[in-house]
Structure 1
Amino acid sequence: MPSTRILAPNGKQGEQIDLPETLFASPVNESLIHQAVVRQLAGRRRGTADTLTRAEVSGGGAKPWRQKGTGRARQGSRRAPHWAGGGVAFGPHPRGYEQKMPAKMRRAALRGVLSAKQAEGALRVIEGFGLDEIRTRDVIGRLEAWNAEGKVLVVLPARDELVERSCANLREVRVVLAHSLNVVDILEADTIIFTREALARSREVYA
């Protein structure tokens, strides 16, 4: 069973706790994770690109010139796709890009990336931030004490204005709630920080 030590705000190691095997010792299915990532990124697409077909372009009701006798190729409308200013053939139209994926598969992918990050040593479990006021400098000091490098994902059990606003100006720090974890955020993070309560909440939701 994987385990880790609880970190105090000053970086001092505390008691050792066992991590839930269902979250941090699950098999890593790369194809399943890839499917989950593609689904999530596709869902972010707005899908608002639109073009006019020949039926929607204004004008072109009259035949440009008579059928025979001009020496030119016959034409029926100025709205045809091969005319400048004409309609677009097979152009994009507004549509949804959402992809369906069963909940069991989504959770299996999430457990897989959490297990991979834990195996890499990217996981930190803290007692809490211990902030008395909104202060970015204090958060920076704590991240350094916890050896949190690169892009940092902070997982909270519930909304915390002190932590969220203190992290707002840190470009490499992202704060999410335990019940809103997703595969893309976890994969992009170099360090993942759970509070003790967030870890318990994640176990309730995903394990």
Structure 2
Amino acid sequence: MQATLYNQAGEQVGAIEVSDYIFGIEPNVAVMHQYVVMQNANARLGTHNTRGRGEVKGSTRKLYRQKGTGRARQGSIRAPHHKGGGVAHGPHPRSYRLAMPRKMRRLGVRSALSAKFAADQIRFVDELTFERPRTKDFIAFLKAHGLADKKTLVVIDSKSPANENLRRSANNLPQVKTLLAHYLNVRDLLVYDHIVMPKAAVEVVESYLGERTRVATPAQEE
């Protein structure tokens, strides 16, 4: 399957061959949904905590005698219905972590990429380099590609010095995020309106999401 290839100035310079297995499948909406649920759950800290009646300060004596006062019987000032008492059935630290098979995670990423490709929301560029970190240059790149007012995800292949200049150039723009190709995930792919992929990043994505991939590549697949 072929896609249009652009240069950094926004001009068409040819075509690029991309994998049907990654960019041309029927998106599996259920798997994408399960992936996002997993990501959101794994992002929760689970550090919330409340004190029960055995953990709050207060006397252990009975407030008044059981019978003969005409009042409701009370056993402790630390009971939940008293001011300053413990919380009944309150939250305590726990893990919200969810697991998902690797094949399903990769299917979710491939489904999101295919959905973006079908919607013409992926821009393939031959290369994306900056001599020095400069936000003005990156804004010029976005304007040349008609992405100045779009939420844009820029996928990079590695942490090279050239890509570091790119990352620092885009770092001050709140609507732009740079992401390593190995860290692609469904939430980022769906949240951002457009995806920018240099050829080098496409090769990395196809190397670990490809049909014949057997060995897992170290990646943040949350």
Out of 174, 183, 187, the residue aligned to residue 186 of structure 2 is 183
Distance in 1 of aligned mates of 2:129 and 2:29: 37
What letter matches 1:62 in structure 2? R
Q: Given that residues 129 and 142 in structure 1 are in contact (C-alpha distance below 8 angstroms), is that contact kept between their aligned partners in structure 2?
A: no
Q: Which amino acid is the alignment partner of residue 114 of structure 1? A: L
Of 172-181 and 50-59, deviating more is 50-59
**1:192 aligns to what SS in structure 2?**
strand
Q: TM-score, normalised by structure 1?
A: 0.96
Deviation at 1:136, TM superposition (A): 0.8
Q: Which moved more, 1:122-131 or 1:171-180?
A: 122-131
In 1: Cα distance, 2:76 partner to 2:181 partner: 59
Task: Give the structure 2 partner of residue 89 of structure 1.
Answer: 88
Report the secondary structure of 2:54's partner residue: coil
Task: Name structure 1 gaps, 5 residues minimum.
Answer: none
Q: In 2, Cα distance between the equivalents of 1:130 and 1:100?
A: 37
Q: Which runs of 4+ in 1 moved over 4 A?
A: none
AA at the equivalent of 1:157? D
Please give the TM-score of this superposition, normalised by the length of structure 2: 0.90
SS in 1 for 2:111: helix
8 Å CA contact 2:129, 2:166 repeated in 1: no
1:95-106 counterparts in 2 under 5 A? Answer: 95-106=94-105
Once structures 1 and 2 are overlaid, which stretch shifts more, 113-122 or 52-61? Answer: 52-61
SS of the residue 1:109 aligns to = helix
Counterpart residue number, 1:170: 173
Residues 128 and 195, structure 1, Cα contact 8 Å, conserved in 2: yes
User: Aligned equivalents of 2:200 and 2:50: distance in 1?
Assistant: 50
**Aligned residue for 1:151?**
151
Number of residue pairs matched by the alignment:
206
SS of residue matched to 1:204:
helix
Provide the rounded CA distance (Å) in 2 between the counterparts of 1:143 and 1:127.
15
Q: Which runs of 5+ in 2 are unaligned?
A: 211-222
Aligned pairs for 1:1-207 within 5 A: 1=1, 3-148=2-147, 149-159=149-159, 160-207=163-210
